[in-house]
Structure 1
Amino acid sequence: MTLAAGYQLDIELDGVNYKCQVPTGGVEAGQKFNVKAFDLESTAALPMDRWRDVLLAQVMTRLKLNWNGEAGNKGNTFKVIVGVWIAFILVRWVLGLGINYGNAQILQTVIFYLDIAFFIFIIVLAVRTRSYLRARSNIPERNCAGCEDCCCVFWCSCCTLTQMARHTYDFDKYQAVCCNSTGIASGVAEIV
């Protein structure tokens, strides 16, 4: 029996059920191959070597990334990202109010540079997060080699964030939760 690349099959090893995926290139009958296997009892079946079709802070927290998109302590990731966003909105709002009462030209320039800085901050976080998730899931760059993460985030950030969110959680099996740090219902296994 020949299996195509990406085909997922359930296996049993020492009484534990696992899911594995046929690697790129497929396999022929009798051929041996090595793959990463996932415990079906504790982990939602997530695709490997390809993307599955939220909020960036929730995705970062699920992946145990810190507030600047690097692997580390996830403890405050959600709080820091939301705090930065709220601070940005408040500062921008206060500066906007000042335009009517002060030097509009200077305040508009400050708002412009603040917007640019926040935009760059979000782009860098999203690129780091996507790169980390792609490397973790063995997903090769298929387009724009060397800068695919940046291109995807820059040109289609909404789609890219949705792609990452769907890749870190099985929304077909579990319901999402809006108002918590991970967007995952309590009691549902996290990605390890």
Structure 2
Amino acid sequence: MRHFTVTVPEGGVVEGQTFLAPLPSEYEAGEGYKRIQAPTGRWKDGLFDCGMYGWFHASLCCALCCTQIAMGQVMARLRLSWLGSPTPAASAGSNTIHSNFRNTFNVVLCLVCAYTVFSVSLEFAAMPPPKWDYELDGAYYVPAVVPLLRMWGSLLFTIWSIWALLKTRRSLRSTYSIPVSRQCANAEENCPGCEDFVCAACCGCCVVGQMLRHTGEYETYGGRCCSSSGHVRGTPAVV
């Protein structure tokens, strides 16, 4: 076991509390200690700094076009469940994402694909038949169950998307000791978690993009849309 001295966050810590600190440079020299370095105590950039790596960067394209898929990549990086909750840490010393956390991404991918197929199927079910199948008066009635299924499917998927994103953002802030913004500090005292909820509900793609950039270190490692972590092959694990 190796030891080194760190500076505790502002305000101090209590016994048993966990916080992150950057590794000394000599610890990063060995391959076994190679990790992506993400800032602690603050966000790496702003919520709307979407184009800082270019308007066609993988993190931006995935966050805009496939928000839930990009959220699954963040979950895999942070070793979260498909609901955004923390899970037991991967085996110590591993510099790749454990298969359990790739499974988290696969679960999210399956949910998104299933909802897409479900929605498209209902759209086809609601389409009017050919004219020769109409009733004599020319009227066509969509079965009542179709709009009902569409409404409930959309509602459940939206609830999951917001809840999972809220929990993922909260887990990331907890991991990297990121406080709430000053604008929401007073509201957070009366309603804990309101900032995470508002961000997740009102601008999900921006939230996901910010989390991808915070945990990505794209200055050093490339991004990739079609991967469980949003990184190119060989990228080390997130701290």
**TM-score calculated relative to the size of structure 1:** 0.77
Matched, 1:122 2:161: yes
| The one of 81, 95, 105 aligned to 1:66 | 81
Alpha-carbon distance between aligned partners in 2 of 1:112 and 1:126, rounded to the nearest angstrom: 21
What amino acid does structure 1 have at the position aligned with 2:123?
Answer: G
Q: Identify the structure with the greater strand proportion.
A: 1
Equivalences, count? 169
Change (3 A) 1:39 1:191: farther
**2:112 paired residue number:** 85
Matched, 1:37 2:22: yes
| The one of 221, 225, 234 aligned to 1:178 | 225
Matched, 1:100 2:85: no
Contact 2:20 / 2:40 at 8 angstroms: preserved in 1?
no
Contact 1:57 / 1:81 at 8 angstroms: preserved in 2?
yes
Contact 2:20 / 2:176 at 8 angstroms: preserved in 1?
no
What amino acid does structure 2 have at the position aligned with 1:82?
Answer: L
Instruction: Name the stretch that deviates more: 121-130 or 47-56.
Output: 47-56
What amino acid does structure 2 have at the position aligned with 1:98?
Answer: A
Alpha-carbon distance between aligned partners in 2 of 1:35 and 1:176, rounded to the nearest angstrom: 24
**1:165 paired residue number:** 212
CA deviation digits over 1:123-164, x for unaligned, max 9? Answer: 111011000000000011221411111111111111111111
CA displacement at 1:80 relative to structure 2? 0.8
What amino acid does structure 2 have at the position aligned with 1:38?
Answer: L
CA displacement at 1:105 relative to structure 2? 3.8
**1:134 paired residue number:** 173
CA displacement at 1:75 relative to structure 2? 3.7
What amino acid does structure 2 have at the position aligned with 1:62?
Answer: R
Q: Identify the structure with the greater helix proportion.
A: 2
Change (3 A) 1:57 1:21: farther
Uncovered stretches (5+) of structure 1, i.e. residues with no partner = 1-12, 26-33
Identity %: 30
CA displacement at 1:188 relative to structure 2? 1.8
* SS of structure 2 residue aligned to 1:74: helix
CA displacement at 1:35 relative to structure 2? 7.3
Change (3 A) 1:21 1:112: farther
Name which structure has the greater RCO, CA cutoff 8 Å, separation 6+. Answer: 2
**TM-score calculated relative to the size of structure 2:** 0.63
Change (3 A) 1:39 1:114: farther
Uncovered stretches (5+) of structure 2, i.e. residues with no partner = 12-18, 29-33, 46-62, 64-69, 88-99, 129-140
What amino acid does structure 1 have at the position aligned with 2:177?
Answer: N
Matched, 1:57 2:72: yes
